Homo-oligomer: A and B are copies of this chain.
Amino acid sequence: MSSTQVRPSQREAQKARTRRALLDAGLSLLEHQSLSSLGLREITRAVGVSPAAFYRHFRDVADLGVALVEDSLGALHGVVTSGLAERSEDGDRIDHSVEAIAAFVREHPEHIRFVVRERRGGVAAVRVAIGAQLDRFADEVAQVLADDEISRDWSADDLRMLGETYVDHMVMTASAFLEAAQGEGPDEAAVARTARRQLRLISLGRRHWTSTD
């Protein structure tokens, strides 16, 4: 089996560059529409490349969409795990989490928009890809939570449920920050406040949890 080349050879470096351009153009074109209405020619036109060139990189637009999922959630992955790892007193932890989400949205708004929009979007393959990634997040969060003193006698099942809850809340909050950034809905401070209070609500429920059924 041939491993990946150590010296990328400017041929495939160029190929990778075009691929990136296609991905970037696609992502930015998705600001005002959804993937299922994004045209192949639209993308190549934005990059300045012939339509036929597209097929050298992706089977179709949906395929590019799947690639974008890895792109978008890969970056978030690092933030979540490293952010959760650092532990501190409860209130601070909530503040830091919310601020981390806010910062990520500020830095990568298009990625967040893409994920949030296509999570329930019209392209099945992309929906599945996003779902799988978020499932992984939920697992990892549950893993971290398991080491907390509070959830000493929680069942794996309950922990998993809690992990899902946190991930869903994270996505919702990110989406709300995004809307705030583009002037729709409440402003960033208000979103942050709501998010913090919701997390406090969950945190309280967590402290008084008793496993049944």
Residues of A at under 8 Å CB distance from B? 30, 32-34, 36-37, 116-117, 119-122, 124, 128, 131, 158, 161-162, 164-165, 168, 172, 175, 184-185, 193-194, 197-198, 200-209, 213
Contacts and interface: CB of A to CB of B under 8 A. Distances in A.
B131 A121 contact: no
A205 B184 CA distance: 30
Nearest to A199: B205
Q: Which 9 pairs, one residue from A and one from B, show the smallest C-beta to C-beta distance?
A: A34-B122, A205-B205, A37-B37, A204-B205, A201-B205, A36-B37, A33-B122, A204-B208, A117-B120
Contacts of A201: 162, 165, 202, 205-206, 209
Contacts of A203: 205
A193 B213 contact: yes
Contacts of A34: 34, 36-37, 121-122
A46 B185 CA distance: 37
A57 to B, nearest CB: 22
10 contacts: A30-B122, A32-B122, A33-B122, A34-B34, A34-B121, A36-B37, A120-B120, A131-B184, A161-B198, A164-B194
A57 B98 CA distance: 45
Contact of A172 (B131, B168, B194): B168
Contacts of A202: 201-202, 205
Given A131-B185, A165-B198, 15 more contacts: A33-B36, A34-B34, A34-B121, A37-B37, A116-B120, A128-B184, A161-B194, A161-B198, A200-B205, A201-B206, A202-B202, A204-B205, A204-B209, A205-B208, A208-B208
Contacts of A213: 193, 197
A105 to B, nearest CB: 14
Nearest to A117: B120
A66 to B, nearest CB: 16
Contacts of A168: 172
Contacts of A207: 208
A131 B179 CA distance: 11
